[in-house]
């Protein structure tokens, strides 16, 4: 069983892509909807919440957990990998979604100038610039926090004029900050739902990068390089969904992110 964690619904856009590439694997999704969004929360809070979720997924039999959330990957992954995991279960693994994306960015940009669109938590953590400096030192990076985008998606405001206003505001701002940018990363799991409106407000010459397919390719590659982990993962094509929110609130909106209907169970984290 592969655990997939997100603060709420957004990780379902990543799970969709994982399933496409790895349909035979079993996945257990956990959304901490009762406490989302994480985007504006402190480092300590995001770490504590994410660690609780990782422990719950381990307890449900997931030896491998993907933090399918940029904010959690940015704020909690390193501490969990380095400080928490050795004392919890050193054989288990927790992976994030920032590195798989950063590793591929060099292939997209011709100008060598890329822009990162994310939540305040992701942007303020500087995780993308730091990882890019290590892995793609030739790239110049600009960042833009788009704090209104997650609430707009959560409120299903995909077509409203307010959404157009806030999309254009941040796209204009990041492109004005560096006119050489030719690649924009939608570095938040909610943003694929805004892809059409982002594309409509971005010059055609600029590539928009969606993370899901990159994360899926990276996971497939990871599993081929780690047969000892792959052997532990059940492969019956099953999906299960857990949420910290009440079920009637979760299932309808979750289907909108996941692209098909789903049934979930409630879980309390502590």
Active site residues: 69, 188
Which of these ranges, 50-58, 67-75, 78-86, 130-138, lies near ligand DGL under the rule CB under 6 A?
A: 67-75
Which of these ranges, 68-76, 103-111, 166-174, 231-239, lies near ligand DGL under the rule CB under 6 A?
A: 68-76
Asked if residue 166 binds ligand DGL (CB under 6 A), the reply is: no
Minimum separation from the CB atom of position 245 to ligand DGL (A)? 13
* Beta bridge mates, 186: 117, 210
Q: Is the distance from CB of 4 to CB of 66 less than 8 angstroms?
A: yes
Residue count, binding to ligand DGL (CB under 6 A) = 17
Minimum separation from the CB atom of position 205 to ligand DGL (A)? 26
Q: Is the distance from CB of 20 to CB of 215 less than 8 angstroms?
A: no
Minimum separation from the CB atom of position 71 to ligand DGL (A)? 4
Asked if residue 39 binds ligand DGL (CB under 6 A), the reply is: yes
Asked if residue 218 binds ligand DGL (CB under 6 A), the reply is: no
* Beta bridge mates, 142: 115
Q: Is the distance from CB of 76 to CB of 67 less than 8 angstroms?
A: yes
- A 10 A CB-CB count for 225 gives 9
Name the burial class of residue 7, with classes exposed (0-12), middle (13-18) and buried (19+) by CB atoms within 10 angstroms of its CB. buried
Which of these ranges, 22-30, 48-56, 164-172, 184-192, lies near ligand DGL under the rule CB under 6 A?
A: 184-192
SS3 241: strand
- How many residues does the structure list for the chain? 270
Near ligand DGL by CB under 6 A: residue from 3, 31, 37, 96:
37
Near ligand DGL by CB under 6 A: residue from 75, 104, 190, 253:
190
Element (H, E) at 177: helix 161-177
Residue closer to ligand DGL by CB (options 63, 121) is 121
Near ligand DGL by CB under 6 A: residue from 1, 3, 7, 30:
7
DSSP codes joined into one string, 2-31: EEEEESSSTHHHHHHHHHHH-TTS-EEEEE
Asked if residue 114 binds ligand DGL (CB under 6 A), the reply is: no
Q: Is the distance from CB of 49 to CB of 37 less than 8 angstroms?
A: no
Which of these ranges, 3-11, 55-63, 109-117, 230-238, lies near ligand DGL under the rule CB under 6 A?
A: 3-11
Position of minimal CB gap to ligand DGL: 39
């Amino acid at each position: 069983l592969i655990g997939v964690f997100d603060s709420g619904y957004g990780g379902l856009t990543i799970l969709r892509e994982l399933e496409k590439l790895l349909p035979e694997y079993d996945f257990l999704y956990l959304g901490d909807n009762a406490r989302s969004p994480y985007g504006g929360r402190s480092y300590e809070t995001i770490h504590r919440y994410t660690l609780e979720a990782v422990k719950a997924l381990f307890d449900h039999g997931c030896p491998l957990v993907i933090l399918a959330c940029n904010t959690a990957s940015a704020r909690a992954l390193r501490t969990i990998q380095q400080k928490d995991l050795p004392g919890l279960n050193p054989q288990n693994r927790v992976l994030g979604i920032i590195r798989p994306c950063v590793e591929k960015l060099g292939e997209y940009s011709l100008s060598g100038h890329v822009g990162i669109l994310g939540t305040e938590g992701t942007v303020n953590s500087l995780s993308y610039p730091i990882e890019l400096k290590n892995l793609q030192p030739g790239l110049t990076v600009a960042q833009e926090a788009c704090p209104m985008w997650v609430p707009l998606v959560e409120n299903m405001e995909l077509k409203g004029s307010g959404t157009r206003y806030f999309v254009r505001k941040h796209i204009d701002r990041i492109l004005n900050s560096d006119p050489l940018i030719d690649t924009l990363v939608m570095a938040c799991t909610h943003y694929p739902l805004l892809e059409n409106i982002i594309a409509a407000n971005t010059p055609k010459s600029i590539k928009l990068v969606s993370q899901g397919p990159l994360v899926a390719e990276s996971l497939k590659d990871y599993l081929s390089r780690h047969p000892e982990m792959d052997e532990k993962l059940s492969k019956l094509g099953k999906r299960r969904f857990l949420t910290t929110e009440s079920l009637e609130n979760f299932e309808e909106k979750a289907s909108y992110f996941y692209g098909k209907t789903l049934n979930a169970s409630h879980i309390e984290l502590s």
